Structure 1
Amino acid sequence: MTATIPLAIAHDYVTQRGGAEKVVLALHRAFPDAPLYTTLYEQSSSYPEFSDVDIRASWLNRLGIFRRNHRLALPFLPLAAQSVTIPAQCTIASSSGWAHGFATGGAKIVYCYSPARWLYQTDTYLGTDRGLRRVMLLALRPWMKRWDRRKARTATTYFAISTVVQERIRDTYGIESEVLPAPHSVDADAPQEPVLFDDFPDEGFYLCISRLLPYKNVDKVVDAFRELDKPLVVVGSGPEERRLAEMAPPNVRMAKGLTDAQIRWLYARSAAVVSASYEDFGLTPIEAATFGKSSIVLRWGGFLDTIVEGETGVYFDVPEASAIARAVRKHAETAWDSARLIEHAKTFSEENFARRLRQEIERVSPSSLQPGAAR
């Protein structure tokens, strides 16, 4: 295969709004001439900034049902991933299971959020789902694991988003990786747009921003606030959405599909962010710190890399309502230094992230960053 473009970016699918998609947009800002290869792209459900990106999707993208619900496409994603060929001297593959499997014409730098959760943490990923999706996944898993491990070995370089993912990459693939924290892209000085709820305070509330998936444990956060006389705003969508809405007590409000300006408004007026999720990185505490806000998070995974206990946040040890409630009370009794929080957030800048990637691109494929190449 002959490489015809200097640099490309790859991502699993561009069908939702989450931390991984924010990283891809940061990659695009760092390398604006690089096209983005993916299996699926749905403009209506992804960040609007993707409309300015040169996106090249697989054949699977022709089927609207899969663009609207990528989880239904699971049995077909290995075929779609194998069909993607990237004719670039260097490819940065933003991957949580698929983009690292794309065929490339040159060097492949994998930025890994985690080896595929549905393969190696199936019970955590699916939660209480006992339907057809679980049956199909269990049937496909042996073949998909072989495919996944084979494709991982095609990488030139592996970066891990956190130390817990670094360990997971080592255990799963036998590959040594370097930890490169994800950047935040929040501008605290950008315009804000109010998010107002009936009979609800417009400041001093706690904030939980998350995809509503079983392993995110948003239900435990909601339960914790059932016993707290404090307001909570949950922002997100996903399979757990209906159940969470039905169980939410009067002091909890739910929202989804918010603009960046509305998210900034919520961060700026919150008391703190709360997360009980098993996060491989956990971007929301960094985004909150940009506004001088602290965090209350599970002592696990990526949060261990991004939270300084007592300075930028409070930990709880288990994702249970009682433990979360105790941590919220402890947080309320602590004085927080907003200037220290803002300085902490600066260490996770897009500039630091892009600088390290440019160094690696220059090492593995010097010609891809020569004059006239994507920058």
Structure 2
Amino acid sequence: MTDTSSPESRADVAIAHDYLTQRGGAEKVVLALQRAFPKAPIYTTLYQPETTYPEFAASTIVTSPLNRIPLLRRSHRLALPFLAWAAGRTRVDAKHTIVSSSGWAHGFPTTGSKIVYCYSPARWLYQRDAYLGTSKVTLTSVALRVLSPFLKRWDRRASRSATKYFAISTVVQRRIQETYGIDSEVLPAPHSVDMTIPQEPVDLGPLEEQQGLYLCISRLLPYKNVDVVIEAFNVLGLPLVVVGAGPEERRLSALAGPNVVMVKDLTDGQIQWLYARSIAVVSSSYEDFGLTPIEGATHGKPSIVLRWGGFLDTILEDRTGVYFDEPTPEALSAAVTRFQASTWDEETIRRHADLFTEEHFARRLRDEIDRLDAASDRGTGMTS
């Protein structure tokens, strides 16, 4: 259910998120938050039901004025220069607001406490070339460069409005301190794998009869380095399935060899089917957390990942996965060779995935809300 105005009565807990226009790890976290706080309305700048997870249709979703423009709902990147304005006009009326943010939702005005769960300080401001790519000049990239000084002031001011900051990983924790001067607490994102969901087959074309598939699930963005994965597997000749969509899709499709199949817009049941039939999850991404290796681990599948960022928090080297040190086809190919020469214990990998459950995630947030309520009752305010 979508609503363009605030709910009639003040919520005890509300959820805020940048935009609900795609399917990815951040949106899975919002669904986990909704399950933890089922009565909480979700505030967001843009909502496009057809391109995000269908489970949001059962939620109360409050959108910004920008949501009235269909073009921006279909392509949130076109809205980037306007999202600070939209965030400032998305007022959340709740006793506690849990903010799922990669750069916009932490700027929503709130009437109560603001608990920010941060995936990263805004990539579009502080890692702009990696986020947007440098291959071509677009109106969005030009607008962001012009507006960057204003947006950085807005972003840092928005960060200071938070009551409490959580970081998705230690690398993001350091980035929050460097960017905002804020001490944050690391709270790993939960996996939301439901093993009871019926598996649904995926049409893999020429790979239909192949055994030992390698699986890369990623948004097709420049910093995800999916081209490195494709180029490595082109040389290795091993079967690779790439799941995802994004602005790099056409270029990557042209790059893919006959042993690489690219698919998108899959259901949870289809994703489960692919995990179950894979031999390993592969990623060359500069990932702030990296949810797919944890999802693969619930199926007992190891990972082959770049030694960077959030992967350092979630992969046990040579026990649940293999690292490679630079995002190049040569380094990844060597890692695949090491992986093939190793023996993997599925039960060890599954036990590791159990450390990243929704129950642990929700319990820490409920504890924080209880702490803030207790501090308010004592009249000591709501500071972290």
Q: CA deviation at 1:135?
A: 1.4
Alignment-mate amino acid for residue 4 of structure 1? R
**1:154 is paired with a residue of what secondary structure?**
coil
Q: Distance in 2 between matches of 1:48 and 1:228?
A: 37
CA contact (8 A) 1:107 1:365 kept: no
List gaps (5 residues or longer) in structure 2.
1-8, 377-384
1:181-206 deviations in whole A, cap 9, x for unaligned? Answer: 00000023421011132221354110
CA contact (8 A) 1:90 1:365 kept: no
CA contact (8 A) 1:6 1:367 kept: no
Whether 1:64 aligns to 2:70 is yes
Whether 1:143 aligns to 2:150 is yes
Q: Name the residue aligned to 1:312.
A: 320
Whether 1:251 aligns to 2:245 is no
Q: CA deviation at 1:346?
A: 0.6
Residue among 111, 119, 128 paired with 1:122 = 128
Q: Name the residue aligned to 2:293.
A: 285
CA contact (8 A) 1:202 1:269 kept: no
**1:41 is paired with a residue of what secondary structure?**
coil
Whether 1:303 aligns to 2:303 is no
Alignment-mate amino acid for residue 305 of structure 1? D
Structure 1 residues 225-374: aligned runs within 5 Å: 225-366=233-374
CA contact (8 A) 1:111 1:159 kept: yes
Structure 1 residues 67-216: aligned runs within 5 Å: 67-131=73-137, 132-200=139-207, 201-216=209-224
CA contact (8 A) 2:103 2:121 kept: yes
Q: CA RMSD in A?
A: 1.4
Q: Distance in 2 between matches of 1:260 and 1:86?
A: 31
1:7-50 deviations in whole A, cap 9, x for unaligned? Answer: 10000000000000000000000000010000000000000100
1:313-363 deviations in whole A, cap 9, x for unaligned? Answer: 000000000000111111111110000011110110000000000000111
Q: CA deviation at 1:216?
A: 0.2
Q: Name the residue aligned to 1:372.
A: none
Q: CA deviation at 1:82?
A: 0.3
Change (3 A) 1:185 1:202: farther
**2:57 is paired with a residue of what secondary structure?**
helix
**1:305 is paired with a residue of what secondary structure?**
helix
Q: Distance in 2 between matches of 1:259 and 1:5?
A: 31
Q: CA deviation at 1:126?
A: 1.8
CA contact (8 A) 2:210 2:239 kept: no
Q: CA deviation at 1:367?
A: 10
1:52-106 deviations in whole A, cap 9, x for unaligned? Answer: 1110011110100000000000111111000011111110000000110000001
- Identity rate, percent: 65
Q: Distance in 2 between matches of 1:316 and 1:57?
A: 42
Name the TM-score, length of structure 2 as normaliser. Answer: 0.94
Q: Distance in 2 between matches of 1:296 and 1:250?
A: 22
Q: Name the residue aligned to 2:12.
A: 6
